[in-house]
Structure 1
Amino acid sequence: MLAFMLCLWSGPVPAAEITVDQASIEASNPGYRLSLAFSFELNRGLEDALTRGVPLYFTTEVQMTRHRWYWFDETSVSASRTVRISYNVLTRQYHTAISGQLQQSFSTLEDAMALVRRPPRWLIIDGNTLKPGDPYTVGVRMRLDVAQLPKPFQINALNNSDWRLSSDWIEFTYKAE
């Protein structure tokens, strides 16, 4: 009986993961824009907290480095952008805000999450900062930023795997134009 029970037990449930589906840099007139697409689902605990009025903060981080043979790699870009999603119980609307700039309201959670999963292109660096022709290593990740949650939820997030939602750093090479 014990052997049968051990076969059925699959071990601890891993923390939910965010996957980076698409990441690219596009040269434009004012500078270089980062285009991203993520895929993930909110677990029941996060959905419940959101519908009870706790805003969730998703932070995207990007780093661009240029390899140098004579010293440490040069960091050309190190930036982050946060998307806040909240729910208003009185209006029954979901609200999203991107780093205090773009604010939108949605009637469903799925519509609001579409903005989190596929944020608008983001100007990460001026056009004259990168050296044309040089290859740069670009690293991107997204995570649920528990440091911006209210203090009681920060403590809960340390002990609860429902609040650990992040992607691994993905890297790709970009040749500046």
Structure 2
Amino acid sequence: MPPLPASRSNLQRLLQGWLLACWLLCSTAAWGQGVELAGLQVQRQEGELTLDFNARVNLPRAVEEALQRGVPIYFVAQAQLLRKRWYWRDERIARVSRSWRVAYQPLTSSWRVGTGGLNQTFPTLSEALAIASRGAGWKLAELSQLDVGDGGYYLQFSYKLDTAQLPGPMQFGLTGQGDWAVGVNTTLKVELGP
């Protein structure tokens, strides 16, 4: 077989470039779906270290269709306050977690959001998601428990759609479906100085 001319390798590179560009364009359609963290703040408040967050949720079509059919979905926010250590794994100082249940009520054509013992009803899905995607004043730790002079504290935060709380038959069918992988993870350095 004769060697390939130089123009053939250029053609292959051009084809690879076009394939990469097409893949990037196709994947940007999914960027509009999911969770964007609009705000995350750790602050000192009345002798406590507290957490505030605000996320923007844009549900994929498959999740919205399941909601319209009466399947409740759950969102979970988790935060861990950690301190760096050079001699061992980082020390976990505090961990907080909250969950929200979002469900459609077909009889009243309204959306219900539940967290803990509190349930609220909203006329639109966007209003319900706005409530289920924010938290304010979560107590992480007492400032007296922390070494204020130590700069080695950081926060690991995640907010996601919890597919483990979906009905069993739905969980089985979700493996490998990226539509249901809705969430965000981030790490934030915590400054304890005055």
TM range, normalised to the smaller chain? 0.7 to 0.9
1:109 and 1:75, CA in 2 relative to 1: closer, same or farther beyond 3 A?
A: same
**What RMSD over aligned residues (CA atoms) do the two structures have, in Å?**
2.4
1:44 to 61, 66, 72: 61
1:128 is paired with a residue whose SS is helix
1:121 is paired with a residue whose SS is strand
1:73 to 90, 95, 99: 90
Distance in 2 (alpha carbons) for counterparts of 1:51 and 1:30: 44
When normalised by structure 2's length, the TM-score is: 0.77
More displaced stretch, 86-95 vs 116-125: 116-125
Q: Percent identity of the aligned residues?
A: 29
Q: CA deviation at 1:170?
A: 1.3
Contact 1:133 1:175 in 2 (8 A): no
Q: Which amino acid aligns with 1:113?
A: L
1:158 and 1:121, CA in 2 relative to 1: closer, same or farther beyond 3 A?
A: farther
Return 5+ residue gaps in structure 1 as ranges.
none
1:119 is paired with a residue whose SS is strand
Q: CA deviation at 1:152?
A: 1.1
> Does residue 19 of structure 1 match 2:36?
yes
Q: CA deviation at 1:86?
A: 0.8
Structure 2 equivalent of residue 176 of structure 1 = 192
Q: CA deviation at 1:163?
A: 1.1
Distance in 2 (alpha carbons) for counterparts of 1:75 and 1:31: 17
Structure 1 equivalent of residue 132 of structure 2 = 116
Contact 2:110 2:124 in 1 (8 A): yes
Greater share of residues in helix: 2
Indicate the structure (1 or 2) with the bigger Cα radius of gyration: 2
When normalised by structure 1's length, the TM-score is: 0.83
